[in-house]
């Protein structure tokens, strides 16, 4: 599985967890069940964190790939220049 696919999967899982938490929070609030409301808030926050971490990981992976490509091209250029001298 590609990093981008895995990142997207984790972001979706985080968003789903946020939604589930929001529903629990609203139901708990509407029914006066403070425990359910608190669990919902915690689950919503955990889902948000999961989605944000996945997003950050995707950005890091993308930037890493970009930098690796630049380094590879620079090394190839140096190798070519050294071959031309000989």
What is d(CA 51, CA 41) in angstroms, rounded to the nearest whole number? 15
Are residues 54 and 18 in contact, defined by beta-carbon separation less than 8 angstroms? no
Domain count of the fold of the chain: 1
The pLDDT value recorded for residue 32 is 97
Residue keyed to tokens 């609030």: 29
pTM of the model: 0.74
- Asked if pLDDT for residue 3 goes beyond 70, the answer is yes
**Which domain range does residue 80 map to?**
3-85
- Asked if pLDDT for residue 11 goes beyond 90, the answer is yes
Q: pLDDT tens, 16-65? A: 999 999 999 999 999 999 999 999 999 999 999 999 999 999 999 889 99
Question: 41: which residues sit within 8 A by CB, 6+ positions away?
Answer: 21, 25
Work out the pLDDT band at 9, boundaries 50, 70, 90.
very high
What is d(CA 77, CA 24) in angstroms, rounded to the nearest whole number? 58
């Amino acid at each position: 599985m590609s990093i981008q696919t895995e990142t997207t999967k984790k972001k979706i899982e985080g968003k789903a967890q946020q939604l589930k938490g929001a529903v629990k929070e609203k139901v708990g609030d509407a029914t006066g069940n403070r425990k359910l409301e608190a669990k919902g808030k915690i689950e919503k926050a955990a889902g948000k964190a999961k989605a944000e971490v996945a997003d950050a990981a995707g950005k890091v992976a993308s930037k890493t790939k970009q930098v690796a490509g630049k380094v590879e091209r620079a090394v190839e250029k140096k190798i070519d220049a050294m071959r031309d001298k000989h």
